[in-house]
């Protein structure tokens, strides 16, 4: 497992630009709410800690991870945003539903990013069990929401730099 010895929230080896000039959307799945709420808190607090203005962070809940796709699409269609962070959690069950949802969400989020030429960040945990999800939502492996926020900041900065 690639994160077995890694803290997802460790960005000590990289420079993070100021988030102050940017507008962010956060779409967060309500399914597996204990996990996704922790991801959201990590993302929101990280954006603010890096200079994002609270009034420039737009948060919208959706039912589940599959709905992150249309949530991000609707946000980008209706708001001037520099990046959207999609936060969700899909935990392996006994059926192939897990595979279908994970593939659809990954492909859908990347398609929205391409459609709008905007960073749409994949902050979706795809874990084998509840403990792995907890470990990645503020547990021993950090918080994937923090990773999503830092990625959004860096990608917004990259887009601004290259589009100038």
So which residues are the catalytic ones?
A: 97
Structural contact between residues 120 and 112, judged by C-beta atoms closer than 8 angstroms: yes
Which sign does the torsion angle of CA 4, 120, 37, 28 carry? negative
Tokens read off for 78: 């209706």
Task: For residue 19, give every residue at least 6 positions away whose Cβ sits within 8 Å of its Cβ, in sequence order, or none.
Answer: 47, 50, 51, 52, 153, 156
User: Helices (DSSP H) in 15-141: which residue ranges?
Assistant: 33-49, 68-78, 97-116, 130-135
């Amino acid at each position: 497992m690639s994160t077995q010895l890694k803290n997802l929230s460790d960005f000590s080896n990289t420079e993070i630009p100021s988030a102050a000039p940017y507008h962010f959307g956060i779409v967060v799945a309500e399914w597996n709410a204990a996990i996704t709420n922790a991801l959201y808190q990590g993302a929101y607090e990280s954006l603010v800690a890096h200079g994002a203005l609270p009034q420039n962070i737009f948060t919208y809940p959706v039912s589940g991870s599959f709905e992150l796709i249309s949530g991000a699409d609707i946000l980008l269609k209706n708001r001037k945003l520099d990046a959207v962070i999609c936060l969700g959690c899909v935990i392996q069950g006994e059926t192939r539903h897990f595979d279908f949802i994970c593939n659809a969400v990954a492909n859908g989020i990347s398609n929205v990013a391409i459609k709008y030429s905007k960073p749409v960040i994949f902050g979706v945990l795809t874990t084998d069990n509840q403990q792995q999800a907890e470990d990645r939502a503020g547990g021993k492996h950090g918080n994937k929401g923090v990773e999503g926020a830092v990625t959004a900041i860096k990608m917004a900065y990259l887009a601004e730099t290259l589009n100038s």
